[in-house]
Structure 1
Amino acid sequence: MFDQQARLERLLERHPDAAVVEPVPGRPALVRRDQILVAGHDAGAAEDAVRRWCDSRHDEEGVTRLRLRAPAKVDVCELTVHLAGDGRHRRLAVSPNHLVLGQPMWWSGPADLPRPSRPVPAPTAGRARRDVTVAILDTGLSPHPWYEDTEWFREQRDEVAEDLDADLDLELDAQAGHGTFVAGVVLRQAPSARLRARRVIGGDGVGDEAGVIRALAGLAASGGADVVNLSLGCHTFDDRPSAVLARTVAALGRRTVVVACAGNAATDRPFWPAALKPVIGVAALDGGDRAAFSNYGWWVDACAQGVDVASSYVSFDGRRADFEGYATWSGTSFAAPAVAGRIAGVAADEDIDAVAAADRVLDPAGGALPDLGVAVGFEHGTAAKL
């Protein structure tokens, strides 16, 4: 268990433009100060509405980011509520720029750091009947024997390289290697999959909604993917989905399956984007029971093993631990790619599209667990009642 307050203080120190907001006591969220996000077609109207406070406008792929003048001390949560309207009569698609975090740990969640592991047998690809692409939006990818000689890794190696020690303290950053680990979990389920990495969070596990939207929009513009894995997320200030992120996910189209982790705060509070209706939200199991740290709720669609998962990792000589390319790690971050990989593997092996494969993997006829959805990797009857 980590000191939650100390972790939050370190995060805010490393990201001075971040702030904790808590419109409802006991339900905090993290946002970038003085930033609001707007869906592209609403950008002009939003800019006009905030002109007296607006410092600059940044038109980015899939989203417009408006920076407000700090001396104005505008409450970005109140402002976006005003601009969006209420109920069925929403006027503009706007949102604060929420921070997103990888989910082996969040400031209110207890999941752990990686531990060195003995080598894990490399996934062996059989003869796939269909080519399948899995996009991984994460910390990037480090070279690893499982995939470093593949064409798909060589094509993107430099642009997606992980930054393992950004603070130069001679230790791995808290979530360094997160993307490499997630990639290995996917490949263990779908060895023939072609991975497309996008770096959206740093080695400290922190990114923001704008970065995720840019990556998703860029993915859609460049041919998309069969499956997208998002081992990250956030709580929003009002526990409602970001309209900007929701529209970006919808723009991927009906042929793309999006899988996201349910989060590690041990709560039923919706965690986004996992709680979006088109997204498969994945909780973590510890054996046959819910992992103590895992979120849960009506919005969770599936669950998979998320404790002491073994996978590919970085090689690094540190003062506290030496890693030689393999680790075990816990978190909903690693349950999600098990489900994403299973869907990709079924699609490749059975020559069906990813949506049909997802329907097969998440068939509720096999039984579902309350507030956890379908248990992927467990036969019906082996998971204990919660």
Structure 2
Amino acid sequence: MEMQQVGEAFIRPGQLLTDRSSLSAAARWTQAVSEADGVCVVHLAAGVDPCELTAELRDQGLRASPNHVFRGQPLFFGGPASRPFPTPPISYKPGRSRSDVTVGLLDTGVAEHPWWAASDWYDDIGPEAADASEGLQAGHGTFIAGLLVRGAPGAALRVDRVLDGDGLGDEASVVRALHRLRERPPQVLNLSFGGHTFDDRPPQLVADAIAELTSTVTVACAGNTASDRPFWPAALPSVIGVAALDAAQESRAPYSGYGTWVDACARGDWLASSYLDTEQFGGFAAWCGTSFATALVSGTIADAAKKEPAKDVVRRLLDGEGARQIPDLGVPFPSSL
């Protein structure tokens, strides 16, 4: 994917993300427009800076953003947690129980695996949602799916592929996927990816699309930035931002994002889950990152949502009397996975 670095943010060069109401205001800088699922990507004329044009349009009260690049969040920048490691097969047999809860999973897709071979939801995802077979983060979505099905037995997954095999996707693809969820919104939505914005302001079109899913609890990773700089979409007030704890579940994992915008935390170090079936891995792996802490929190909420609305679950777990708070990490969600 072609991208350009602007400060600590990444954008698609020469692209502006907007809605129809702003197209006329951007017309004189426009070379072409592509529209799908209610999102317009304006391809700008040569030499036009999408960040400067965004600021100009926002000053007019219009919706606009550079087309930011989002990344999946295992530890992306190196170290022992930057890649999955082979692990022995995990003893887990899916039960026959069925839940009315659906968890949305926007990620690299989901590959075939014995844990969901007999599930209706996997039959429904289609070949376009299959996990990437090559790339630095191939298997990322499959790994997360395993954490979700074990954390919320019987729940169905609704899968949409928004990241490529290297874990990269753009804001336009994410907003379009969010819009597609409006017809049948899931109770819980897992977003184990994100990024910074060029101006540290919220990505407005993403925020709007999430806000339209009024009955959905959206859970997103705080990023593996080891900083308190807002990481989006986790830092949105309407989203549960999740940091990673170490394997002992006592302290912040050194790579994890943190800050007042983080709402919850869970173990992110050396989790084992489903993975691609390759010669090296055989369908299982161990991996680290806030991506996977996020899946543990999503699974806990989805499992509790069998008995009460997901929004009520969140209020009880995050704001209930006696809820333990860790400064800059939020409420810890214990896990036995």
Query: With structure 2 as the length reference, what TM-score do the two structures score?
Result: 0.95
Task: Output the aligned Cα RMSD.
Answer: 1.8
Partner of 2:48: 74
> Which of 1 and 2 has greater Rg?
1
Partner of 1:261: 221
Q: Aligned partners of 2:83, 2:144: CA distance in 1, in Å?
A: 14
Q: Is the 8 A contact 2:57 2:64 kept in 1?
A: yes
Partner of 1:118: 88
Q: CA, structure 1 residues 119+157, in 2 after alignment: closer, same or farther (shift >3 Å)? A: farther
3-state SS of the aligned residue for 1:188?
Answer: helix
Partner of 2:111: 142
Equivalent residues in 2 for 1:335-354, closer than 5 Å: 335-348=293-306, 351-354=307-310
Partner of 1:154: 123
Q: Aligned partners of 1:136, 1:326: CA distance in 2, in Å?
A: 19
Q: Aligned partners of 2:81, 2:57: CA distance in 1, in Å?
A: 37
Q: Aligned partners of 1:123, 1:361: CA distance in 2, in Å?
A: 28
Which residue identity is paired with 1:137? L
Q: Is the 8 A contact 1:241 1:272 kept in 2?
A: yes
Residue 57 of structure 1 and its aligned partner are, at CA, apart by: 1.2
Partner of 2:36: 60
Equivalent residues in 2 for 1:9-88, closer than 5 Å: 15=1, 17-22=2-7, 28-40=8-20, 42=21, 46-70=22-46, 73-85=47-59
- For these two proteins, the number of residue pairs brought into alignment is 333
Q: Is the 8 A contact 1:216 1:248 kept in 2?
A: yes
Residue 301 of structure 1 and its aligned partner are, at CA, apart by: 0.2
Q: CA, structure 1 residues 145+108, in 2 after alignment: closer, same or farther (shift >3 Å)? A: closer
Q: Aligned partners of 2:95, 2:102: CA distance in 1, in Å?
A: 14
The answer as to 2:287 corresponding to 1:329 is yes
**Where does structure 1 lack aligned partners over 5 or more consecutive residues?**
1-14, 23-27, 166-172, 380-386
Q: CA, structure 1 residues 110+283, in 2 after alignment: closer, same or farther (shift >3 Å)? A: farther
Q: Aligned partners of 1:125, 1:277: CA distance in 2, in Å?
A: 36
Q: CA, structure 1 residues 180+135, in 2 after alignment: closer, same or farther (shift >3 Å)? A: same
The answer as to 2:234 corresponding to 1:274 is yes
Q: Is the 8 A contact 2:76 2:82 kept in 1?
A: no
Residue 124 of structure 1 and its aligned partner are, at CA, apart by: 4.0
Which residue identity is paired with 2:140? H
Partner of 2:186: 225
Partner of 1:383: none
Q: Aligned partners of 2:319, 2:278: CA distance in 1, in Å?
A: 41
Residue 39 of structure 1 and its aligned partner are, at CA, apart by: 2.9
Residue 126 of structure 1 and its aligned partner are, at CA, apart by: 6.6
Partner of 1:241: 202
Which residue identity is paired with 2:130? A
Q: Is the 8 A contact 1:224 1:252 kept in 2?
A: yes
Q: Is the 8 A contact 1:285 1:291 kept in 2?
A: yes
Q: Aligned partners of 2:122, 2:207: CA distance in 1, in Å?
A: 29
Partner of 1:5: none
Candidates 141, 149, 155, aligned match of 1:187: 149
Q: Is the 8 A contact 1:262 1:295 kept in 2?
A: yes
Q: Aligned partners of 1:361, 1:31: CA distance in 2, in Å?
A: 36
Residue 105 of structure 1 and its aligned partner are, at CA, apart by: 3.2
Q: Aligned partners of 1:357, 1:52: CA distance in 2, in Å?
A: 49
Higher mean displacement: 145-154 or 114-123: 114-123
Which residue identity is paired with 1:60? A
Q: Aligned partners of 2:299, 2:194: CA distance in 1, in Å?
A: 19
Residue identity (%): 47
Candidates 324, 333, 337, aligned match of 1:367: 324
Q: Aligned partners of 1:323, 1:356: CA distance in 2, in Å?
A: 39
Which residue identity is paired with 2:24? D
Higher mean displacement: 56-65 or 99-108: 99-108
Q: Is the 8 A contact 1:108 1:265 kept in 2?
A: no
Query: With structure 1 as the length reference, what TM-score do the two structures score?
Result: 0.83
Which residue identity is paired with 2:35? D
